[in-house]
Each structure stands twice: as structure tokens, then as C-alpha cells.
Structure 1
Amino acid sequence: MSNGPHAKLAELGHELPEVVPPVASYVPAVQSGQHVYVSGQLPVAEGKLLATGKVGAGVSAEQAKDLAQRCALNALAAVDSLVGLENVVKIVKLTGFVASAPGFTGQPAVINGASDLLGAVFGEAGRHARSAVGVAELPLDAPVEIEVIVEVG
């Protein structure tokens, strides 16, 4: 298993964080059949939101891209705790939300932070369908949030 997802994360300089506890009435991830649906993940590390505010006003697009990558790590932690990353067959869909200042249209580049990590960890199985959406506000004033659907086997 030296070439599995945990090893690939380590090779990329990442380790899975603890699963972020829900901030409301939901669970971090749920399995239905061969799919795991990961609840929206914010850029939280060690219990703290890493940044707040709008992308394009106070939060740079490059910073937001890094925050999206953190969201993806949190999503992978939720999947790992539920079914184990070694059981991931395919990253099916990623939906990214970007709290955007008026006129900011770089949502796809921001969400690439999450997409690029998933591709690096899972290779071809990490290529996924995706939406990148600009929104007025996100929970806790987070700049980015992602949710993921994963096929497992």
C-alpha cells in the first residue's frame, strides 16, 4: 500500500487532519450504496477557521485557492473516517462555493485548489465533475466551502 492515497498525501507534504466536527445538525459524511456524500467542508484547521471574508476583497484568489485545498483535506478526512481512503474508487463530483466580492469572477481558479489536490492524490480516479459557484455569504464568514461525492468499492 506504499502507493495508496495516504502515501500520496504524505509525498505531497500533507497529512489528514482530524474530522471537523459539524457546526449544525448534520454529519460530516454519509454512505448510501456505493457513494459517500461529504457535507460542506470549510477551511478549518485545529478547530479554527483559517480565514474569513470575501474573495476579491480582503482574501486574495491565491489565498482562497490554498483554503480550498484545506477544504479538500477536510473532506478526505471525513471519507477516511467513514470508509477508508483506500476504498475510494472515484471522486465523482465536487461542488465549490466561493464567498465573492462584487465583480469577482475567478471562482473556477479558486476551486482548483481542491480539484488539483484530489487529482494529485487519486490520479485518473480523482478527475471529477465540478461546479464552482460564487455566493454572497458562507457559514461563519468563510471564504470557501466544498462538498464532494465519492464512489467507493
Structure 2
Amino acid sequence: MSASARLAELGLALPEVATPVGTYVPALRHGDLIYTSGQLPLVEGALLATGVVGQREGDVTPERANECARAAVLNAIAAAAAVAGGIDSIAGIVKLTGFVASAPGFTAQPAVINGASGILADVFGEPGRHARSAVGVAALPLGAPVEIELIVATR
């Protein structure tokens, strides 16, 4: 089954690629690889959540951050697909780097980024399995709780 068919079967659609706010591009092809810029959990132009992820009062919960990772990876897939010539031109996912704005003492970054990894496996099947880093950081652009980058292989 193609990635586009799996995406539809999951009831998901790729969003419009966000216009960069700086002097960079959403994704860049080099040979058979596409590198995405960091993608935030924007849905229809608005962040799903803001703040750091943790267990304290007022923190973004790990569960909500997991949802943010899912939204951010859809944005990353959209950016890569735009450069690849469509989602079905993506042969597989090489690497996912996930950044989590983390409250002091929060160490469950991998659980947050599992949201993004799960989408990749669901959409691309075995070729969606990837190398990964889940990194805790003090802050992310616009106060986003999660940022996702991908390296994808093309057909």
C-alpha cells in the first residue's frame, strides 16, 4: 500500500507547508536525501500548545506534547513531500530528530517523540522505521513544546 493510501486510511491529510519566517527553506534536497528544517506543531497557522513539557502545574503534559509531535511530523512530511514530488516519492525515513522544550527534571523526551515515530511507521510501514534522537532543550521558537526535523530518502 502506498504512503498516500495509508495516510488516507488513517484519516490524515498533509497540511500546507508553512512559509518560513527567515532566510531558509522548509526542506532541501541533496542527492537522494531531503533534509527538513525544524517543523513546529502548527495546525492551520496556530501552535497546538505553548510552554515547556513537564509534570508541574501549568506545564504542557507529556500526552499533549505527544500530540504536538504528531502534528509537527505531519508538517515535516509535507515539507519533504513538496520537495520530493509527492509523498509517494519518499522511499523511507532515515533520521528523525525531535526537540522537546523541557521543564527542569523532565526526562521523558523519548515518550513525547514516540508520537512522531508512530506516525512515520503508520504512514510508511517498514521504510518509516528510522534512526532517532530525542533531545531536551530549554526553549523552542514561538514557545513551541516540540520541534521535529527529518532526513528522508527519495525514490
1:17 is aligned, of 4, 15, 18, to: 15
**Are 2:119 and 1:117 aligned?**
yes
Amino acid at match of 1:138: L
Q: Whole-Å Cα distance in 2 between the matches of residues 15 and 113 of structure 1?
A: 16
1:2-151 equivalent positions in 2, closer than 5 A = 3-56=1-54, 57=56, 58-83=59-84, 84-151=86-153
Q: Whole-Å Cα distance in 2 between the matches of residues 68 and 24 of structure 1?
A: 22
Q: Whole-Å Cα distance in 1 between the matches of residues 80 and 87 of structure 2?
A: 6
> What is the percent sequence identity of the aligned residues?
62
1:14-63 Cα distance to aligned partner (Å, 9 max, x none):
11110011122210000000000011000001111111000014200000
Amino acid at match of 1:41: Q
**CA apart distance, 1:135:** 0.2
Residue ranges of structure 1 left out of the alignment (5+ in a row) = none
> Which structure carries more strand by proportion?
1
Q: Whole-Å Cα distance in 2 between the matches of residues 43 and 23 of structure 1?
A: 15
Aligned residues: CA RMSD? 0.8
Q: Whole-Å Cα distance in 1 between the matches of residues 90 and 13 of structure 2?
A: 17
Q: Whole-Å Cα distance in 2 between the matches of residues 77 and 90 of structure 1?
A: 14
Residue ranges of structure 2 left out of the alignment (5+ in a row) = none
Q: Whole-Å Cα distance in 2 between the matches of residues 21 and 111 of structure 1?
A: 24
Amino acid at match of 2:61: S
TM-score, scaled relative to structure 1: 0.96
Q: Whole-Å Cα distance in 2 between the matches of residues 100 and 9 of structure 1?
A: 30
